[in-house]
Structure 1
Amino acid sequence: MKIPVIKKLVEAYDLASLQLAEEALMEEQMPAIEIEGDDEGEQLTHILAAIWIKQEIEKTGDAFPLALRAYTSRVRTSIS
């Protein structure tokens, strides 16, 4: 997971575009937007993170850094 890639996706695309890209990746198709990543798994990780953060920003009104912190906290909790 690369934070600069996630930030770029959140800033560059709306939620609908991100969700369409997720669907394309899940169906093993080429997404309409460029998603950086070493492989499809990393690309999917980036797009899922961007979607979650974008939804969190819309729901809470928080700025990107706070939404990112909430996401990374969620990830750390799920790992431990």
Structure 2
Amino acid sequence: MSYFVYILECNDGSLYTGITTDITKRLDEHNTKTCGAKYTKSRRPVKLLYDEPSSDRSSASKREYEIKKLTRLKKLELIDNL
């Protein structure tokens, strides 16, 4: 199963990073009232800015952790370097 690390931009301009196996489904979950992360529930709608594939959950989780440690500026640079 393939995993993806993704970065969302929330309605308030903040960035959210997560992992999933289905980006389209997860984005829809973040934007509905029934599912999604606690962080994004009060910051809807969200839009996808970045995604990167990972071979397995472990590598996706490690990459998510690396991205979460980056400053906002570094995350925006990562997004711009697509």
- What is the TM-score of this pair, normalised by structure 2? 0.36
- What is the TM-score of this pair, normalised by structure 1? 0.36
Indicate the structure whose relative CO is greater, using CA pairs within 8 Å and at least 6 residues apart: 2
Q: Which has the higher strand share?
A: 2
